[in-house]
Amino acid sequence: MVISQRSPDGRAASQERAGVRDYKIRLDYAVLRATQVAVDPFPHMVVPHFVPPATLRAVLADLPPLNKPGSFPADAIRPGPAAHALAQALEGPELRNAIAEKFSLDLVHSPTMLTVRGYASTRDGRIHCDSTAKRVTVLLYLNQDSDAFGEHDGCLRLLRGPHDLEDYVVEVPPVNGTLLVFPNGPTSWHGHKTFEGRRYSMQLNYMTSGRKARSELRRHRLSAFVKRLTWAV
């Protein structure tokens, strides 16, 4: 991500970037490596508290208020040091290598696409499988517990099929730094009950190298450029 503005006290952007680079993020790779891959209803892995509580609080304090639905390219928003460091870590080699090992995948040459969501609308959560251009989906949930999530609203469900949101095997509340990872496939159906309001997450995708993936990456980069201009205004 690029932070190009000057700070209110006139510090140069390069100084701000240096401060961002100096932040040391703490993620729980030990619990990730100890977590078993589940196979029902499709291969996946859920890692609670991958972002430890203190780190989660710092990240949430550093995320801008995204008060409209949709995915924002990670380099289009203005994060503080903790959120910036988290985004860098998600696209880094340690997570890539751990996921590749867990799912017996070769991800060495898979390009990444990282987006941030901060608000859910009533149109979100419909049952779907992700694009075939996405080899693996990684969802990191960056919310504190709430009554709404406790009532199952906005909690992602891994489903047995495409028709019934109640026909689920696993439900993942979008809270407490939980990490969800699954390779994409024709039966990786998922969705969630209607929820409207704040719902922060980062989504990382390891992409294929085909034409469709290149098209999605180009669209993503164009979106990043346009949304950087929007944030600058």
- Spatial CA neighbour of 192 closest among 130, 146, 125: 125
Strand partners of residue 200: none
CA–CA separation, 163 vs 59, rounded Å?
36
Asked if the structure places residue 89 within a domain, the reply is yes
Backbone angles phi, psi at 23, to 5 degrees: -70, 130
Backbone angles phi, psi at 215, to 5 degrees: -65, -45
Asked if the structure places residue 3 within a domain, the reply is no
Report strand pairing: 156-159 vs 134-141.
unpaired
Name which of 63-72, 120-129, 138-147, 220-229 the model is least confident about: 220-229
Number of domains in the chain: 1
pLDDT (tens digit per residue) in 171-187 = 999 999 999 999 999 99
Domain region containing 159: 13-232
CA–CA separation, 102 vs 44, rounded Å?
10
Number of CB atoms found within 10 A of residue 27's CB: 23
CATH code at position 83: 2.60.120.620
**Residue scoring higher pLDDT (222 or 209):** 209
